[in-house]
Amino acid sequence: MTKPSAVNIHRTNPPDWFKQADFGIIIHWGPYSVPAYAPVNIPDYGTLIKTKSLGYLFEHQPYAEWYGNSMLLPNSPVAAYHRTHYGNTSYADFAKTFKQTAQNVDVQAWATAFANAGAKYVVIVTKHHDGFAMFDTQESDYKITSSKTPFSKNPKADVTKEIFNTFRKEGFKIGAYFSKPDWHSDDYWWSYFPPKDRNVNYDPKKYPEKWNSFKNFTFNQLNEITSNYGKIDILWLDGGWVRPFNTIDQNVEWQRTIKVEQDIDMDKIGTMARKNQPGIIIVDRTVPGKWENYVTPEQAVPEKALSIPWESCITMGDSFSYVPNDNYKSSQKIIETLVKIISRGGNYLMNIAPGPNGDYDPIVYERLNEISGWIDKNQSAVFATRSVAPYHDGNFYYTQSKDGKTVNIFHLDDQSNYQSPSTLNFTVPDNFKPKSLKVLGLSNKIQWKKTGNSIEIHLPKERNQLKYSTVIQITQ
């Protein structure tokens, strides 16, 4: 639902590590992983946004992490599923089951697999819209460390701390996802009124004390995360409908559904976070202003290079949180997406969701292993690179080294099984004078000739061992 926009956005220049990272992983894991249900066999999210009303979209929400909201819509597939499988069980009851299954998680297995696949940073959902804290908050007992379950005595009960520490040891930069809306909080969804949709269910201007209580609650939780969990590199704030009313873009359909002021006081939050974590990147998604340090197109890749920092968050399957037998993208599709994103100057934040016990479907590890094999051969063309014109020309995509002395040209083919052609013709960037050329992953010398601004190369039979792409590296 997020569209990249450069209008009226003031942002800091992201640090070098973010520009050089290119590839990260985001993990949705929580009580919603227990029912693990969302409608299947419906169009993808992008198609739904373009072809259906917002009412239909929310009733047929394809993301399982929205289960707690979807089950309240009486005509939704999730409500029907819940009645059949769980009867009168409340959404909050799933937290009890989740706390028992979560203690089996092997976070080191995640970190090893992600590192081998080339990911440089990880973003963990510390709290989604359902309000369940995956960290040891003192603001609520609706949390992973609640004393009401035996798991609270487990030394690894604070799974956010366990995940952050494990990934830091593997060299990852750390991001904390946090939802500004909280459907469990009585100061957001006040029990005095029935919830109408995903928004606050009362008018904060009419009940300022109630809203101020929620603002303090949110501030305190974010203070805990940025104070008690070591070095944090990104604060990734979701739930863009919690925003100052004057920032609503009436040209964006979903923003027109925001009917009341929901100013959470981002200046106070952002100043606190920067004091606790100097240099932290703050991403107040979809809210133009100084706290949206980069934009985050969702399930989409911009058609052209952007003049502002950006990161596409895209699921490996269909849902952001776990559903059994999800439709996982092929390794070729994932690699093609990575290439398209970095050629346009962005970062690829790929979502992979574990099941309630903290493990991934075997196919996820297969995909990561296949990506790892490709990264091993081609990482010099991927990481610490910059976009360069023409960015994209037919089936060719371009990156360059930071010093501009090396240009990388990726040849892709949308066919299901990539086969490298015997001959390739492509243009080189203006004023680039190549002196040497090689194809990454091939040991044989490559025959090539330059005519004007074009290069023709002839590939040996050895090309048949190339998977997913042909990556040509030229140096001047």
pLDDT of 398-445, one tens digit each? 999 999 999 999 999 987 789 999 999 999 999 899 999 999 999 989
Instruction: Please state the rounded mean pLDDT for residues 136-156.
Output: 89
Q: What is the pLDDT of residue 44?
A: 65
Q: Largest alpha-carbon pair distance within the chain?
A: 75
> Which has more pLDDT, 445 or 43?
445
**Which band of pLDDT confidence, cut at 50, 70 and 90, is reported for residue 8?**
very low
Q: 247: Cβ–Cβ under 8 A, 6 or more apart, which residues?
A: 287, 288, 289
**Which band of pLDDT confidence, cut at 50, 70 and 90, is reported for residue 321?**
very high
**Which band of pLDDT confidence, cut at 50, 70 and 90, is reported for residue 326?**
very high
Whether the per-residue pLDDT at 9 is higher than 50: the answer is no
Both tokens assigned to 184: 């469990």
Quote the CA–CA distance of 287 and 427 in Å, as a whole number. Answer: 39
Task: Provide the phi-psi class of 296: left if phi over 0, else alpha when psi is between -120 and 50, else beta.
Answer: beta
**Which band of pLDDT confidence, cut at 50, 70 and 90, is reported for residue 1?**
very low
Q: DSSP secondary-structure letter at 133?
A: B
Q: What is the pLDDT of residue 45?
A: 63
Residue (of 468, 394, 464) closest to 426 by Cα position: 394
Q: What is the pLDDT of residue 43?
A: 64
Q: 164: Cβ–Cβ under 8 A, 6 or more apart, which residues?
A: 124, 174, 229, 230, 232
Q: What is the pLDDT of residue 53?
A: 80
| Residue the block writes with tokens 């993808």 | 44
Q: What is the pLDDT of residue 442?
A: 96
Q: 310: Cβ–Cβ under 8 A, 6 or more apart, which residues?
A: 4, 294, 295, 296, 297, 302, 345, 346, 347
Instruction: Please state the rounded mean pLDDT for residues 277-306.
Output: 94
Whether the per-residue pLDDT at 138 is higher than 90: the answer is yes
Element housing 396 (H / E)? strand 396-401
| Residue the block writes with tokens 């050329």 | 437
Say if CB 234 and CB 175 are below 8 A apart.
Answer: yes
Quote the CA–CA distance of 271 and 286 in Å, as a whole number. Answer: 19
Q: What is the pLDDT of residue 4?
A: 43
Q: DSSP secondary-structure letter at 255?
A: G
> Which has more pLDDT, 444 or 43?
444
Q: What is the pLDDT of residue 209?
A: 98
Return the number of other C-beta atoms located less than 10 Å from residue 214's C-beta.
Answer: 22
Both tokens assigned to 86: 């769980």
**Which band of pLDDT confidence, cut at 50, 70 and 90, is reported for residue 41?**
low
Q: Which of 41-55, 169-183, 350-364 has the lowest mean pLDDT?
A: 41-55
Say if CB 30 and CB 54 are below 8 A apart.
Answer: no
3-class SS of residue 281: strand
Strands (E), 58-152: 121-127
Whether the per-residue pLDDT at 358 is higher than 60: the answer is yes
**Which band of pLDDT confidence, cut at 50, 70 and 90, is reported for residue 3?**
very low
Q: pLDDT, tens digit, for every residue of 254-267?
A: 899 899 999 999 99
Instruction: Please state the rounded mean pLDDT for residues 352-375.
Output: 96
Q: DSSP secondary-structure letter at 256?
A: G
Quote the CA–CA distance of 120 and 16 in Å, as a whole number. Answer: 13
Q: What is the pLDDT of residue 42?
A: 66
Percent of the chain with pLDDT strictly greater than 70: 96
> Which has more pLDDT, 462 or 103?
462
The torsion of the CA quartet 56, 60, 65, 68, rounded to 10 degrees, works out to 80
